[in-house]
A and B are shown apart, each in its own frame.
Chain A
Amino acid sequence: MPRKEGARKVTGQAQYVDDLKFPGMIYGATVRNQARRGIIRGIRFEPGVAWDEFTIVTAKDVPGKNYVALILNDQPFLADEITAHAEEAVVLIAHPDGYLVEEARRLVRIDVEALPCIDSLQEAIEQKEIIWGDDNILKSYLMNKGDVDRGFAEADIIVEGVYETGAQEQLYIENNGMIAVANPDDGVTVWGSMQCPYYVHKALMPLFGLPPEKIRVIQMETGGGFGGKEEYPSMIAGHAALLAWKSGKPVKLIYDRAEDMTATTKRHPSRTRHRTGVTRDGKLTAMEIDFDIDGGAYATLSAVVLSRGTIHAAGPYSCPNVRIRSRAFATTYPPHGAFRGFGAPQSIFALERQMNKVAAAAGLPAEEFRRRNFLHEGQTTATGQVIREKVDLDDLLFRALELSHYHHHRDTFDRANPTSRLKRGIGFATFMHGAGFTGSGEVALASVVTAEATRDGKVRILTASTEIGQGTNTIFSQIAAEALGIDYSLIELAQPDTASVPNSGPTVASRTVMVVGKLVEAACVGLKLMLLSSGLLKELYTSEEFSSAASDYIDRIGPLRASGEYKPPPNVFWNDETYQGDAYGAYAWAVYVAIVTVDPVTYEVRVDDVVAMQEVGKVIHPVLAMGQIEGGIAQAIGFALYERVAWKNGRMANGQMTNYIMPTSADLPPIRVFFAENPYAYGPSGAKGIGELPMDGVAPAILNAIEHATGVEFNQIPLVPELVMEGLVGQRHALPEAKHAR
């Protein structure tokens, strides 16, 4: 089944926001704080351009409320008296000449009286300065299962570890951008690159004080998102619309790469402390986990990122006693945000490094230790969720180890490493990823999808779920075609436009296929039943008969449309207070294996092979599914080894593709993807979520392999060569007995 919009993409006809040009359109730019946290004392426009030709917008021009509506509504569109971080927008300018706008941007001076900053998680924890509430904590959770103190009392061995992950840039190849038309008569319309049209819609209403029908948000073809276009597009849409509102002209506001990298959100840096109790025969008795993330200067999505990271922190293991404390701290960095995996890759990295450490302490091979503690059907996760699916982690592990020739490689490397110049290692990670919004989130979203027949006998799907490369258009067309019993070519996807598509929730959280796809199915079944019960169509129809009956229906009876609305699967219970219950409707389960070569002279690490074995329910489209997993693994290799954000004075210093290094085609190993299928009763055609899963397990598998290769325990990513050097040099200098003293 070819990608629905594929022909437009391979011929260059697909229209992204920067490809649009409106008559009379002018070009906008964002002037950001040039200092750090502080009090704004003045804004100066230095001579050098004809300032009277420019449209200039500051916080004083905001017609409605100056906040980006999200969870806490704490972040302003434009800083007013106080600026919280180094990349905060303060002034907007626009002019018909796009080159002149850039020149003028450099002539705006913002005078800021400095206030103290918080430069690290540690400084936030120690309350070097209070920048948020009374304790710098944006959000915290406490999850308790069983009795952890008793669990530690029952343990023969207690193992501790600390693990850190860095910020990561989403680095979609299409930079963010918006075009806006706005005036008091017609309201506000924006066209842009985004994942979540209704988030933008929600943010623009209070900004302009306009009712929902006066705000229209249209998604253009979007060149990648990975979470990076979940929330920040609301900010850019607001900026473009403010300039359009004031100038009376269409305004195009497109970020260049440097601005996109430095000013927009990145993955939350994290630090996790583990304390694990285990019996002599390798059974987990207690897990105590402290998970902290750096939220940056505003709350934005940190509470929910923290939530997902917390719930995934104890992984696919059955441990009777678990206590997880997690906190998101305010710092004076630009706010961190959504990035594929949403907190889970951070806590899973820590867990899967820790599990190897615990296995070693218990004297067990890593795989045998996992086997003794895997979750099985009927057992409970850390949130007390009873696993009702037929999960078979033993089988996934067995197959992943076979496919990667794990034992063979392990023996071979063990024999060769003592005398070979290059050191090789093999490692793996076992993990799960919950699909959809957490807990009661999907009920609150109450998503809707509509299917309608067109006069020429096709069926158009109306949904706010966006195509951002992952294949929404194709998969929804497949689901619709199957539910309607007609040909794939008869399905159309409406362009996401809040004036015509219902709110199907955001395109995030691996929810598009599993949750929204189910609504596509329901809407199509509804439409089919309407047509059948009208008598215009008889069972056992062909696509042609369906088409002609649908046309007849519209001519004789009227519009033929049906909607699917979200209903939770039965017996799902979640307590937001205790964080106990059914966190997710379904989980994807996986075992990933990595082989690495470490060069102890150059300190380079090369990944030689990745085997990715997973169970994601039923695979609807194998080519797209493999593409999702492979792409996620490539990003995760970057997360593990290459992609380091260098912070300097509160801003990203390497906001360029020349010095922020993502994997190229020459850097990647063969990525071998395998699926075990186990249809999920409440997913469309049995499918579960898939998009975020591949981000989770790669980094720990790689670091486990590096430990095998070198004998050194590395617990920080990105593990750039400098850190490898530190570790290996430290090992050479360490006294032999010190290596075993724990």
Chain B
Amino acid sequence: MRVKVNGVERSIDAPPMSRLLDVLREDLRLTGVKEGCGEGECGACSVLIDGELTNSCLVPLLQAEDASITTIEGVAQDGKLNAVQQAFLDHGGAQCGICTPGMILAAMALIQEHPDPTLEQIQEGLAGNLCRCTGYMRIFEAVVQAVRR
């Protein structure tokens, strides 16, 4: 099966009903994709599939065939953090770090949809990604700062 992951065409030899999460973590060793709940509630396994925020624990590999997938490993370009990553780093958006990869991808999808989001749009846009450390306030701040950059 062929998928494009972080801009690179990959050929994957795995059962078509494998969870995309497991394929990314185990077959491609992209361990920045995290498993938090395995039932699509927490968003730790979020990736972008053709630009759309998706819980990779709920997607079978066959559904991702020929799609373009972005994981957290594909966000920084040439070792340079993107604006959202930099804002999370500068404004305390990451604490324990386990929700961070998914949260950053969710923030990127949010900004794509709402280039200048209101607080309500940020709150709604990130509501599928749970964070137990921050109480979300620093994450909202990071999104606002990323937009300003």
Residues of A whose CB lies within 8 Å of any CB of B are: 2-3, 5-16, 18-19, 21, 170-175, 221-224, 226, 256-257, 468-471, 623-624, 626-627, 630-635, 656-658, 662-666, 668, 670-671
Contacts and interface: CB of A to CB of B under 8 A. Distances in A.
B104 to A, nearest CB: 6
Interface residues of B, number: 56
Contact of B137 (A471, A624, A671): A671
A226 B91 contact: no
B100 interface: yes
Contacts of B128: 664
Interface string B24-41: 010001111111111101
Interface of B: 25, 29-39, 41-42, 44, 71-73, 75-76, 81, 85-86, 88-101, 104, 122-124, 126-140
Contact of B32 (A11, A468, A471): A11
B132 A171 contact: yes
Contact of A656 (B41, B86, B92, B126): B41
17 contacts: A8-B97, A10-B86, A10-B100, A12-B73, A16-B34, A19-B31, A173-B130, A173-B132, A224-B132, A257-B39, A469-B95, A626-B92, A631-B132, A634-B134, A657-B36, A666-B124, A671-B137
A469 B97 contact: yes
Contacts of B123: 665-666, 668
Contacts of A671: 135, 137
A627 B138 contact: yes
B111 to A, nearest CB: 15
Given A223-B96, A627-B137, 16 more contacts: A3-B92, A10-B104, A12-B72, A172-B132, A173-B34, A174-B34, A223-B99, A623-B138, A631-B134, A632-B135, A634-B136, A662-B132, A665-B123, A668-B123, A670-B137, A671-B135
Given A10-B85, A665-B139, A173 B44 contact: yes
A15 B29 CA distance: 12
A609 B95 CA distance: 23
Nearest to A623: B92
A624 B96 CA distance: 12
Which of A7, A15, A173 has the most chain B CB within a 10 Å cutoff?
A173
Contacts of A631: 95, 132-135
Contacts of B134: 627, 630-631, 634
Contacts of B129: 665
Nearest to B95: A469
A665 B127 contact: yes
B8 to A, nearest CB: 16
A224 B126 contact: no
A224 B98 contact: yes
B127 A16 contact: no
A481 B35 CA distance: 36
B135 A634 contact: yes
A664 B39 contact: no
Given A469-B96, A656-B39, A635 B132 contact: yes
Nearest to A664: B127
Nearest to B142: A10
A254 to B, nearest CB: 9
Nearest to B30: A12
Which of B31, B35, B137 has the most chain A CB within a 10 Å cutoff?
B137
Contacts of B91: 623
Contacts of A664: 127-128, 130
A16 to B, nearest CB: 7
B97 A221 contact: yes
Contact of B41 (A10, A175, A222, A657): A657
A658 B58 CA distance: 14
A302 to B, nearest CB: 24
B72 A11 contact: yes
A253 B99 CA distance: 21
